Amino acid sequence: MNRLRELLRSLSARIILACMLLEVAVLGLLVLSGAQLMDNALRTQAELRVEQSKPMLNAALAAPLAQEDIVTLQEILRESRSAQAIAYLVLLDEDGKPIASEGWDMQRRLPPVDSVLRLDLEDGFFDVDMPIELAGQTYGRLQFGIALHELRATARRLVAQNVLIGMAAILASLLLLVAVGRWLTRPLKELTGAAQRIAEGEFAVRLRVNSGDEVGTLTRAFNTMAGAIAERMQALQEAHALQECYLDQSRAEHARLAALLSAMTIGILFVDEQDCIVYHNPALCRLLGIDVDAELDGHAVQALARLAHPRGVAPDCFSSSEGAQGAQELLLTDGTVLTRSHHPVRNEDGHPIGRLWIVADVTTERRTAQQLVYLAERDPLTGLYNRRSFQNELNRRLAHAGRQGTQVALLLFDLDEFKLINDRYGHQAGDKVLIQVAAEVGALVRRSEFFVRLGGDEFALICEPEGPETLQALCDRLVQAIARLPVAFRGQSLRLTSSLGVALFPEHADNPDELVARADAAMYQAKEAGKNGWQLYDRDRDGTDEKLARIGWNERLRRALDQEQFVPVFQGVYDAQDGTLQHYELLLRLRDEADPSRLITPGQFIPHAERSGLIREIDRWVVSRAIATLAARPTLPAIAVNISGRSFDDPALPRHIENELKRHGVESHRLLVELTETAAVGDLSDAQRLITVLHGLGCRVCLDDFGSGFASFAYMKHLPADVLKIDGLFVRNLARDRNDLVFVRAIVDVAKGLNKTTIAEMVEDQETLALLRGVGVDQVQGYHFGRPQELHDCMAETGVAV
């Protein structure tokens, strides 16, 4: 049924069905009319036969009947039945009695005579009677019956033929109508299909115009409509695509802004002109101690104070009348420090629509700043003031004393045989002793006195003594306090002693550098006097030319820094196997003021620089010059620079290295920093921190003069250097002293086990080089490859073999 409904939706199907119904009705009427005409024709034909048969029968039967010749009558009846296709014949006399019959049992009663011939008579016969007359006299009657089955069969055949002809006509009409319908509706179907394709998005569909009739006109109109739709759809799609692009950009921008605001650690608060919250980010809730899921939008800004954890947030701290646009601090009751600032928010017309509040937690920054100040001024191990603070304080006090005409005493002391404690019991034991000394001496120092740790085991105290007796009592207390300090390691009690030197301003020196040099000389005078005591500076005992020259070195080194009199020279470090250049080492020389052609070696001026504290500035100068050289020559291999032990606790040195690398755009792996092993072991904790920071910057670290210390192998695991440079003491006589070869081989084996590179310095001949190759040394350096020289354009680059 559903399929029929679907079929009848087609216009061609409805046209065909209507035509077929009309044709069936017409043909039905024609068949019925034909059947009626055919029935009438057959009945007329049968009646005509009857009428034609009556005279012949009357002529044949009249004479025998008059003669009552029954035999002849019977014979005539038989022949008449056979010849006339009559079903039965019964001859009756004048009295109506049957006297002869053919095809009928005379015992049976004759059927009634039919007045009208009909094909649907019940007995199947058309019963007729006629009088038998001769010469105007009636001798009897003849009743006979015409069989109707042949007429009926003929009628049925004719009806069947008509029906078949009608069905054939209907089928032919159906086929013709289908063909015609398809031909007529094909353009409509094409229009329908094209419209469906357009509905599906194929806007380029066009139909070919095949006729000039109404269908052609409709097709042209459809093509025009399709073109207009295509243009509008293209414009709509372009507009939609542009809108989607803008929408995607807006969504992405909104997502990025939301992610940014949500990820920010500072609090963001937007309020409208009525001080109602429009937006806030999660950080604001965290800073104020409000539940992150709290619904704040739409509430008055005063709700922040009610919902905030009770940490001292004032109800009006975010009101429109509170504060200027600059940042203001809020100190909460739990110690948290917040900064808040607000800025006006305006629309495109410049009218204010609200304010933006920015809240930041600066507690960590404040503490970090305090910590940085502390680290810049204090020694991280003992908590005492450091060398930088000492220099500033000494300059300040001497300037004040010079103006006031007062006296300043500088007490300088170190611990006797402290290095043995480090070597025997480890750096942790040494650090513990330094902490104990700082605490013990610090307890004796008055508020007006300035107690510092200069580095290693060296301490200093600046004071303004009231008189010689007061100064003597102070020195005695310090030396005795250290001597009484209980020190025990591994069940062994140790006696700790110190040597203290005192120099006075202005009696012994009139400037800070000379005063330090005088106190240092006095300290060594105390050591020469037997240690565990103190000594006031004695000019006579420090009156040799060599010591006077040492005092003058401070000014000489200062001039060298100011007037660029330091000269960097470079010596190559080569692969031990193939001789290719690996990197350069920058070695420092000082140009002689008396003879500019002469260069002074570091051994003559570095000790004075370390005592005066100028070594830190020299170290920075060397670092800056090395990095500038690398930047000027991008093809130059890495450069190694030496850092003094005095710079290990300088917190500004790593920042200086990082800033110089960034300023010159030099990759950090091109800078190799060398630390002297003895200095690193003597101040192990500071050396460890420095190495860690240098690794964080990406610089490699080399442990110089390895093997010269008392416990080199024991400290190797505590100093995570990348490179070990074997002390030249074991290399110079390697070909003549087999004990040195055993020691070098041991260093190489341990270094390879720890995945460290080894460098042998002071390689001066081919025989030594061959022995070093045999034990597996990675790199070599020495006069055998070339002496240190100033930088010039002909210097080799990485990978060049010698």
Query: pLDDT (tens digit, 9 = 90+) per residue, 681-694?
Result: 556 677 888 899 99
Angle between helices 602-612 and 545-562 (to 10 degrees): 80
Least confident of 281-295, 310-324, 743-757, 780-794: 310-324
Question: Does residue 544 carry a pLDDT above 60?
Answer: no
Helix (H) or strand (E) holding 310: none
Q: Which pLDDT score is estimated for 656?
A: 94
Contacting residues for 173 by C-beta, under 8 A, at least 6 apart: 19, 20, 23
Q: How many other CB atoms sit within 10 Å of the CB of residue 451?
A: 21
Question: Does residue 714 carry a pLDDT above 50?
Answer: yes
Distance, in Å, from the CA atom of 411 to the CA atom of 382, rounded to the nearest integer, reads 18
Could you tell me the pLDDT band of residue 205, with boundaries at 50, 70 and 90?
Answer: confident
Greater model confidence, 723 or 736: 723
Cβ-based burial of 581 (10 A; exposed 0-12, middle 13-18, buried ≥19): buried
| CATH superfamily assigned to domain 379-543 | Reverse transcriptase/Diguanylate cyclase domain (3.30.70.270)
Least confident of 55-59, 167-171, 329-333, 672-676: 329-333
Of all residues in the chain, what percent carry a pLDDT higher than 90?
29
Q: Which pLDDT score is estimated for 725?
A: 92
Q: How would you classify the pairing of strands 267-271 and 352-361?
A: antiparallel
Distance, in Å, from the CA atom of 774 to the CA atom of 410, rounded to the nearest integer, reads 55
pLDDT tens column, 283-305: 877 877 777 777 778 777 777 76
Could you tell me the pLDDT band of residue 545, with boundaries at 50, 70 and 90?
Answer: very low
Mean pLDDT of 33-45: 70
Could you tell me the pLDDT band of residue 601, with boundaries at 50, 70 and 90?
Answer: confident
Could you tell me the pLDDT band of residue 11, with boundaries at 50, 70 and 90?
Answer: low
Strand partners, 700: 672
**Nearest in space to 259 (alpha carbons), one of 286, 288, 290, 281:** 281
pLDDT tens column, 99-153: 888 878 777 888 887 777 666 666 667 788 888 888 778 888 888 887 776 777 7
**Nearest in space to 647 (alpha carbons), one of 628, 668, 623, 666:** 623
Q: Are 142 and 90 in contact (CB under 8 A)?
A: yes
Strand partners, 408: 505
What rounded mean pLDDT belongs to the chain?
A: 82
Q: How many other CB atoms sit within 10 Å of the CB of residue 708?
A: 16
DSSP character for 349? T
Mean pLDDT of 369-395: 85
Distance, in Å, from the CA atom of 504 to the CA atom of 539, rounded to the nearest integer, reads 12
Question: Does residue 323 carry a pLDDT above 50?
Answer: no
Q: How many other CB atoms sit within 10 Å of the CB of residue 492?
A: 9
**Nearest in space to 497 (alpha carbons), one of 539, 533, 535:** 533
Q: Which pLDDT score is estimated for 317?
A: 60
Q: Which pLDDT score is estimated for 503?
A: 96
H helices of 446-544, where? 468-483, 512-528
pLDDT tens column, 66-106: 887 888 888 888 887 776 667 788 888 888 888 888 878 77
15-171 against 266-361: fold identical: yes
Could you tell me the pLDDT band of residue 396, with boundaries at 50, 70 and 90?
Answer: very high
Q: How would you classify the pairing of strands 498-505 and 408-415?
A: antiparallel
Which of 201-210, 466-475, 483-492 has the largest mean confidence?
Answer: 466-475
Contacting residues for 273 by C-beta, under 8 A, at least 6 apart: 320, 352, 353, 354
pLDDT tens column, 219-253: 788 788 878 877 887 888 888 888 888 888 888 88
Q: How would you classify the pairing of strands 671-676 and 638-643?
A: parallel
- Helix, strand, coil percentages (3-state) for the chain, rounded to 5, are 50, 20, 30
DSSP character for 609? H
Topology given in CATH for the domain delimited by 15-171: Beta-Lactamase (3.30.450)
Question: Which of these CATH numbers, 3.40.50.1860, 3.90.226.10, 3.30.450.20, 3.90.550.10, describes 266-361?
Answer: 3.30.450.20
Distance, in Å, from the CA atom of 431 to the CA atom of 423, rounded to the nearest integer, reads 12
pLDDT tens column, 424-482: 888 888 899 999 999 999 999 999 999 999 988 999 999 999 889 999 999 999 999 99
Count Cβ neighbours within 10 Å for each residue of 1-15 and write b for 16 or more, e otherwise.
Answer: eeeeeeeeebebbeb
Could you tell me the pLDDT band of residue 775, with boundaries at 50, 70 and 90?
Answer: very high
Distance, in Å, from the CA atom of 180 to the CA atom of 220, rounded to the nearest integer, reads 23
Count Cβ neighbours within 10 Å for each residue of 93-115 and write b for 16 or more, e otherwise.
Answer: eeeeebbbbbbbeeeeebbeebe
Hey, is 145 helix, strand or coil?
A: strand
Q: Are 726 and 760 in contact (CB under 8 A)?
A: yes
Q: What is the CATH number of domain 561-790?
A: 3.20.20.450
- Gyration radius (Cα) of the chain, Å: 66
Question: Does residue 508 carry a pLDDT above 90?
Answer: yes
Could you tell me the pLDDT band of residue 579, with boundaries at 50, 70 and 90?
Answer: very high
Greater model confidence, 612 or 247: 247
**Nearest in space to 657 (alpha carbons), one of 640, 636, 671:** 671
Question: Does residue 181 carry a pLDDT above 80?
Answer: no
DSSP character for 114? P
Could you tell me the pLDDT band of residue 628, with boundaries at 50, 70 and 90?
Answer: very high
Q: Which pLDDT score is estimated for 313?
A: 57
Could you tell me the pLDDT band of residue 262, with boundaries at 50, 70 and 90?
Answer: confident
Query: To which residue do tokens 């080089």 refer?
Result: 769
Q: Where are the domains of the chain?
A: 15-171, 266-361, 379-543, 561-790
Mean pLDDT of 714-734: 82
Distance, in Å, from the CA atom of 128 to the CA atom of 148, rounded to the nearest integer, reads 13
